[in-house]
Chain A
Amino acid sequence: MGLIAVVLAGFVAAAVAPWLVRIARGAAGWVLAAVPLGLLAYLAGQLGSIAPHGLSVSYPWVPSLGVRFSFHLDGLSLTMAVLITGVGALVLIYAGGYLAGHRQLGRFFAFLMAFMASMLGLVLADNALTMFVFWELTSITSYLLIGFDHERPEARSAALQALLVTGAGGLALLAGLLLLGQIGQDLGLPAAASLEISTLRTLGKESVAGHALYLPALLLILGGALTKSAQFPFHFWLPSAMEAPTPVSAYLHSATMVKAGVYLLARLSPVLAGTEAWTWGVMAPGLATLLIGGFLAIQETDLKRILAYSTVSALGMLTMLLGLGSPAAVAAAMAFLLGHALYKGALFLVAGAIDHETGTRNVDQLGGLRKAMPWTATAAALAACSMAGLPPLFGFVGKEAAVEASLHHGPPWLATGAVMLGGLLFVAIAGIVGARPFVGQRTELPKHAHEAPISLWLGSMILAVVGLVLGLAPGSVDSSLLAPAAANVLGRKEVASLGLALWHGWNLTLALSALTVLAGVSVYVARLPLRWLLGWGKSLSRWGPAGWYELGLKGLNVVAAVQTRLLQSGYLRLYLLTILVTTVGLVGYTLLRRVELPRREDWFDGALHEASLVSGLIALAVLATILARSRMRAIVALGVVGYGVALLFVLFGAPDLAMTQFLVETLTVILFVLVFYYLSPSEPFSRPTARLRDATVAIAVGALMTVLVLVTASADWYPSVSGYYAERSVPDAHGRNIVNVILVDFRGLDTLGEITVLAVAAIGVYALLHLRPERRQPR
């Protein structure tokens, strides 16, 4: 029950946030932060109870499809949930100061709280489809938050880009998860449990990897994970997403949401990992992203874009480590995940504070702010040292673990080289973002810089200090949080300490680490020439994935325009012609190829003579309609056709149908009379060729329908349900008129759908009648 409350609390808070802002005004951020803080306290209380099995709650949702509303708290989900609530509380306080006085602050808080709840649902969900629902909810809330400044076109297009890229990945993920459920069922899981990730974990990797659907499922799930975590070649949406207000960038686009893809890979690693396909499918994109993100970061001048690319790079590091998949690599991934969330969140908050107080985010314009903004500068320095991997900060512990893990697995030049290259770029980026704005001479700035209010530096300070404390005592998170998480990723029952420590003695790892820092410092010093040197890369980016995205969107529009011009003539008669010819063609083809025509004696029973009489009448009325010289005559003759059909219904014992047909026919005649009023009386009837064409189509449709009715009436492919309805109508539904009972009770949902369609059609007709061009002109 507690877990459900953890997930739902944020949604409730989102609903009341706008009112709260109206009441609490400036303090709303502080008040709202109580929600994630309370959740954090609850989660911290569970630290002891997650060890062997974790906590589970489960409610049936769609039992027939094996979908359960089930949640599971173990080391991995607890680590993520602690990050989500902890960083969330700080970001809420920060946002209260950053957007103080914004007229849509209430809406902002509502989106942010809804995001937090969705993210918690995503990491706590046990059922794959429940997780998918929350996965999509994070995409949607991210869309709303990136586009928060919806009056700026850049923000709107960035929001749409993020939604389309992660949404497309989400679709792939859904298919992948369903395939995974299928694999589970094939391997003997009951249908109801085949989508529970905790159950899938028990299958054993070898049997899953041996299944024919393994590779498709893996590739589709990778499609979801790599788009969400901005891995190459899908990384481009993340820098664009920097259009969002800075609290959003700090929260969604560095600490939490972008880690959802990494989380998914970690979560499914006990099911899918260990194969060649996994290692290369996960490690290769991670490695490429690590390097590409790092190089793109040092070319940028905007603080937030630098941080965005370095986040891309860090996500690449995490993905690569999960791809390596060894115990040491998973341990390093867990330590790096926590360390990165701490320092990157802090640096984003610092970047926002600088922007807020100086009016610019351009690193070339910033300098010498340490005296004006001492608290911010301190937080930035700590976070930057952590990012650079300097002792005694937690970032150092994480980086050491990563270097150590890379040394022992795969070709050393590949993984170790990538980790070190990435590490030295991190050092340079940390210098550019965390040191450059604060050291050196004061520069001319758009605003007179002074220290930000406490709400704007408290968050970065706390994150940075936590990074320091954990660096000094890494054992405190090792056995309680990260070791259980790593055990979950590896699919192990027993929890073994990760051996995280500040000091491992004089060894190769330490030497490599020091080398990285030295090389990184020289890259920092040479950053301006390097930026100039790498400048040609910028012109290449036009041909990069972002360019493909633009091209794809343009192509979509072109295709839409072409097919609209081709199919949408605007003439009702042409639409009808298209629909009818298509129907005749497709259904007629199927009938001829697949279906045997019924024997003659099946065709008719009952009142043959009366029916022939009425049919003759109908045929005469049809002739009269076609040959009529005036519209009024045609309408009246058509009415006779309709009444004739109603008579047939009477003859064959369907009084309900007949009554409705009479009424509809009456109203149709009235409608025809009213509609034909709009046609000018002098308008000629169609040309002879067109009439010939229409006659052909009409006869073909008539013939097709006749055959179709005869075939369906004479075949008994399915057992009839009439008997059941007749039997249950009075006892279950208190009605003797089966037709009506079916309409309002047995098949009530169909009727509800039909009257909804009627209502929509009426709205359409009403709009057509009232939006005609001549109405728009001023009178």
Chain B
Amino acid sequence: MSSLILRTATRFMLPLLLLFSVFLLFRGHNEPGGGFAGGLVAASAFALYALAFGVPSARQSLRVDPRSLIGTGLLAAVGSGLLSLVLGKPFLAHRDLWTIVTLPGFGTLHLGTPLVFDAGVYLVVLGVTLTIILPLAEEQQ
């Protein structure tokens, strides 16, 4: 795959897609989106990059091993549930773990442990997809 068009487009697409994936993650609580969709978008971005520039460059731009993303994600998801356990609530009870931050000129921000949980889902989905796709693509090249 040495199409100049694909390479040039990908160079611009990767940051945009990654930004979009994070956007999906954040808006997921109120609008369609969420960690699962966000993780898939991010995975597609890196898959596209791997197709255009080869797997080694894709791995390099990812910086971390996709396998450790899986572990980190699971840890974040479990960790978000442990906080409620410390407070004497059941595991994964997010209900009272919210803070509402008001940013002047921007609006209010509802921050809570579900966001950490969703970020964990995002990382697991990204890690799983790339753990499967990258070695397959590696063989081909």
Interface residues of A (CB under 8 A from B): 655-656, 659-660, 663-664, 666-667, 670-671, 674-675, 677-678, 732-737, 739-741, 743-745, 748-749, 751-752, 755-756, 758-759, 761-763, 765-766, 769-770
The answer to whether the Cβ of B129 comes within 8 Å of any Cβ in the partner chain is yes
Cα(A441)–Cα(B124), bound, Å: 75
Evaluate contact between B135 and A769: CB separation under 8 angstroms.
yes
Q: Which residue of B lies closest to A658 (CB)?
A: B32
Alpha-carbon distance between A741 and B118 when the two chains are bound, in angstroms: 10
- Give chain B interface residues in 1-42, CB to chain A under 8 Å: 28-37, 40-41
Are A758 and B125 within 8 A (Cβ)? yes
Give Cα distance in the complex from A663 to B28, angstroms: 15
Report yes or no: B136 in contact with A737, Cβ–Cβ below 8 A.
Answer: no
Q: A663-B40, A667-B47, A755-B125 are in contact. Are A748 and B81 (CB under 8 A)?
A: yes
Tell me whether A752 and B77 are in contact in the complex, defined as CB-CB below 8 angstroms, given that A660-B36, A744-B121 are known contacts. yes
103-129 of chain B: CB within 8 A of chain A: 110, 112, 114, 117-118, 120-121, 124-125, 127-129
Report the Cα distance A737→B133, complex, angstroms: 30
Residues on the A chain within 8 Å of B128, using CB = 758-759, 761-762
Please give me the residue from chain B that is nearest to A675 by CB atom.
B136
Q: A667-B133, A740-B28, A749-B91 are in contact. Are A660 and B40 (CB under 8 A)?
A: yes
The residues of B that contact A739 with a CB separation of less than 8 Å are: 32, 34
Q: Considering the complex of A and B, which 10 residue pairs feature the smallest CB-CB distances, nearest first?
A: A663-B40, A735-B29, A674-B136, A762-B128, A655-B32, A755-B124, A734-B110, A744-B114, A736-B30, A740-B34
In the complex, the answer to whether B135 meets A737 with C-beta atoms within 8 Å is: no
Known: A660-B37, A733-B114, A740-B28. Contact between A667 and B43, CB under 8 A? yes
Whether the pair A748, B29 counts as a contact (CB closer than 8 A) is no
In the complex, the chain A residue whose C-beta lies closest to that of B114 is A744
B102 within 8 A of A: no
Q: Please, how many angstroms separate the alpha-carbon atoms of A770 and B33 in the complex?
A: 34
Pairwise interchain contact A745-B37, C-beta atoms closer than 8 A: no
Write out the residue numbers on chain B whose beta carbons fall within 8 Å of the beta carbon of A755. Answer: 73-74, 77, 120-121, 124-125
A666 contacts B44, C-beta separation under 8 Å: yes
Most-contacted residue by chain A among B31, B36, B136 (CB, 10 A):
B36
CA distance A732 to B128 in the complex (A): 31
Task: Across the interface, name the chain A residue whose C-beta is closest to B94.
Answer: A745
Q: Using known A-B contacts A735-B29, A762-B70, determine if residue A748 contacts B37 with beta carbons closer than 8 Å.
A: no
A747 nearest in chain B by CB position: B92
In whole angstroms, what is the CA distance A674 to B47 when docked?
11
Query: Could you say which residues of chain B place their CB within 8 Å of the CB of A670?
Result: 44, 47, 51, 133
Q: How far is the CB of A704 from chain B (nearest CB, A)?
A: 28
Contact B29 A656 (CB under 8 A): no
Chain B neighbourhood of A667, CB < 8 A: 40, 43-44, 47, 129, 133
Q: Is B87 an interface residue (CB 8 A)?
A: no
- What separation, in Å, do the CA atoms of A744 and B115 have in the docked complex? 8
Q: How far is the CB of B140 from chain A (nearest CB, A)?
A: 5
19 CB contacts below 8 A, A to B, read: A670-B44, A670-B47, A674-B133, A674-B137, A733-B29, A733-B94, A733-B114, A734-B98, A737-B32, A737-B34, A743-B34, A744-B35, A748-B117, A749-B91, A751-B121, A755-B120, A758-B124, A762-B131, A766-B135
Answer yes or no: B95 CB below 8 A from chain A CBs.
yes
Answer whether residue B67 sits at the interface, using C-beta atoms and an 8 A cutoff. Answer: yes
Contact A659 B77 (CB under 8 A): no
Question: B126 to nearest A CB, angstroms?
Answer: 11
User: What's the least CB distance linking A757 to chain B, in Å?
Assistant: 10
- Which residues from A are CB-within-8-Å of B43? 667
- Closest A residue to B36 by CB, please name it: A660
A767 to chain B, nearest CB (A): 11
Contact between chains at A762 and B132 (CB < 8 Å): yes
- B140: nearest residue on chain A (CB-CB)? A677
The smallest beta-carbon distance between B33 and chain A, in angstroms, is 7
Partner of B40, one of A664, A674, A766: A664
**A667 to B32, alpha carbons, bound, how many Å?**
19
Tell me, in angstroms, the Cα distance from A109 to B81 when the chains sit together.
Answer: 35
| Nearest B residue to A664, CB-CB | B40
A739 to B140 Cα, complex, angstroms: 38
Whether the Cβ atoms of B136 and A663 lie closer than 8 Å is: no
Q: Which residue of A lies closest to B67 (CB)?
A: A766
Q: Does chain A have a CB within 8 A of B83?
A: no
Interface pair A659/B33, CB less than 8 Å apart:
yes
> Nearest B residue to A732 by beta-carbon distance?
B95
The answer on a CB contact under 8 Å between B132 and A765 is yes
Q: Given A755-B74, A758-B125, verify A766-B131 contact (CB < 8 Å).
A: yes
